[in-house]
Amino acid sequence: MLPAPYRLLLCDLRTDQVLDTLPVQDLAFDDYIGKPGSLSGTVPIPDSRIGARARAALVPGRTALWLYRGRDLWWGGLLWTTAVRSDERGFLSVQVQAGTWDTYLAHRLMMHSFTLSGDQFDIVRFLIDYVQAIDGGNIGITYGPETSGRVRDRAYSEYDLSVVRDLIDQLGGVEDGFEWRIGSHLDADGRRVKRVQLGHPVIRTGHTDIVLDHPGPITAYTWPIDATGRANAWQSRGATDPATQGGADAVPLMSAVQLAEQDITDGWPRLDGSSDYTTVTEQATLDAHAAADLAAARAGSVIPEITLDMTRAPVSPALLGATVRVRIHDPWHDRLDARFRVVGLSVAPPDRGRPETGRLYLEAA
């Protein structure tokens, strides 16, 4: 069976009005839980008519990109850069680079002061509403009514000029925090939707494990284990005490030292780590950040990557947050049979003889 064709729809970011549909080559895209996704590709410009269409529709910072695979919507985001290229033979093309909708929040600042208290998901919704209530800021991001059951207190100052995306990341990056992303899908009426997805403590989707075998649908894999960022002791720095700020004795708020004593008991050497939260003024909040950072650093970095034959495996953006059962039989693993959560997806569509491939990035379930 031939893979479904991909189609790139170009729309105005604020109104979602369709501007054009253009052919794209060398397409690649990815999406993740916990960090922005991206899309890249090359739009060929064979004549002045296509050139005029592309020049009008491909406006970095203003054009929204929606990627369809057949009739299904697989990716959405904002065009950030273009580069017009002419090669030695005179062939003209435009290289495009786009980021998922959450990258827009990296270009919005908190320019007012607020003191907030409530469910951490309510604070996320407040920040989304703040961004979109300002004239020119509404790009159609929606959200649901879900709650986490975890109450937070936050104070945001206009003088910090904090990046809104960073505020959401910091809110979720504490002990008993949450994960978030802005997904793209079609609603029941076929309308394109940008929707905030929230999960406490993590995003989980699906109810049945998907079994993937190597040899089998898994055609290749990479299994890195990286201890360069591992730590079993952690301390975080917060805001500088206003009473001493600017003086020779200015000192920042410091978290309690978080120590994984069991690691030392088990024979690990002590490995220290630190982090900075220059806008955090509450001791309890800073301690929660330090505890979460220690938990993330204690295990080291183990993010397996598996490459799949998309004709034999059910690969789609719906896998983000889903649980897969990976079974590998080879001389290193002997017989691995373990469950993982999908935290990233990367797809390279078929192009000029290149087969369609999908990569999944995993973490222990």
Q: How do residues 109-127 score in pLDDT, each as one tens digit?
A: 999 999 999 999 999 999 9
The CATH number that domain 6-100 falls under is 2.30.300.10
Phi-psi region of 161 (alpha: psi -120 to 50; beta: other; left: phi over 0): left
Q: Show the DSSP H helices in the chain as ranges.
A: 48-57, 102-105, 120-133, 164-172, 261-265, 283-298
For 269-307, how does the pLDDT look when each residue is reduced to its tens digit (9 = 90+)? 999 999 999 889 899 999 999 999 999 898 777 789 999
| Residue boundaries of the structural domains of the chain | 6-100, 105-199, 210-224+302-364, 233-298
Confirm if 253 and 239 have CB atoms less than 8 A apart. Answer: yes
pLDDT value of residue 246: 57
Could you say which of 3.30.450.20, 1.10.287.3510, 2.30.300.10, 1.10.3720.10 is the CATH number of the domain covering 210-224+302-364?
Answer: 2.30.300.10
Cβ partners under 8 Å of residue 296, min gap 6? none
Residue 188 DSSP SS3: coil
For 154-177, how does the pLDDT look when each residue is reduced to its tens digit (9 = 90+)? 999 999 999 999 999 999 999 999
The CATH number that domain 105-199 falls under is 3.55.50
Q: Is the pTM of this model over 0.85?
A: yes
Render 69-110 in DSSP notation, one character per residue: ETTEEEEEEEEEEEEEEE-TT--EEEEEEEEETHHHHTT-B-
CA dist., res. 317 & res. 320, Å (int): 6
pLDDT value of residue 3: 60
pLDDT band at 1 (very low <50, low <70, confident <90, very high): very low
Whether the predicted pLDDT of 245 surpasses 60: no
Same fold, 6-100 and 105-199: no
Q: What is the DSSP letter of 44?
A: E
